[in-house]
Amino acid sequence: MARLDPRILRKMRSKADQYKSTNLLFPSYWRTRHWSKSPHRIVQLVRRYSESVDGIASRAIGRYHDRLWDDIATEVEDLDLRRTLARHMRKLDQLFFFGLLTREVRSPGSLTRSEQLVRLRVHERNHRTSYGRWNPDRGVIEIWTQAFHRRNSFQRLFLALAHEMAHAYLDIFSNRNSSAFARDVDPDDGHGPMFNRLFHILLFRLNQWAPGLHEIQDELPAQDSRVTQMHQQIQGTQVVLTV
């Protein structure tokens, strides 16, 4: 399968490197100060060039399939959720997001310390209204092991992680100052048409690799409907979904 042009990948890595930097002397700032990638283009890169395109025939995806099923088959109480979700975050990042979200970048205000571009925080407590949240100001994805006063299944936590990673990818690598971002990402608290398109790609491919994940199967019809509606609004015609 085709892979992402190394020149584009270098520029995206530079964008990642300067995301938390306020220092205008930081070299990657000057390489990306006229960043112009639209949400549509950012989503197309995942659809066409990410490792996820290879499908279950890929050895890497085959190995990931086995590990995913092992974790799903384990009682959630027996999992070290912080370590397990961090491992899945790294793998999803490698397969869908070019390893950018878990890339080590320079910590704000430090010349020597580094940290993961998007950090993961798992809360072993209840949240009344949410399974997960992407906090762009802190560069943190937060996942709650309990929500709505019941303990979440591992599938639900995994799906929440994938959902928030899609938010983070679009927020960091799209041109946030463009009218396209305001139209295609911002509406409905960040769940605009391009977010739905990206999350549909993740769900569809994960379902192909591991059919039988009921949380994904429950979510897919709603995403199919949202993506179809999005295309009708943008183009005014029926389209065939490609993932």
Q: What is the pLDDT along the chain (243 residues), one digit of tens a residue?
A: 678 999 999 999 988 988 876 555 555 555 556 678 899 999 999 999 999 999 888 888 989 988 998 998 888 888 999 999 999 999 999 999 999 999 999 876 666 678 999 999 999 887 777 889 999 888 999 999 887 656 778 888 999 999 999 999 999 999 888 899 899 998 888 899 999 999 999 999 998 887 777 777 677 666 666 655 554 444 443 333 445
pTM over 0.75: yes
Break the chain down into helix, strand, coil percent, rounded to 5. 60, 10, 30
For tokens 């397990």, the residue is 84
* Cα atoms found within 13 Å of the Cα of residue 153, Cβ hemisphere only: 9
pLDDT in tens, 175-196: 888 899 899 998 888 899 999 9
Rounded to an integer, what distance in angstroms lies between the CA atom of residue 20 and that of residue 101? 13
Rounded to an integer, what distance in angstroms lies between the CA atom of residue 186 and that of residue 95? 25
Q: Look at residue 30 and give its three-state secondary structure.
A: helix
Q: Which residues contact 47 (CB under 8 A, 6 or more apart)?
A: 53, 201, 242, 243
| H helix or E strand, kind and range, residue 166 | helix 154-173
pLDDT in tens, 67-81: 998 998 888 888 999
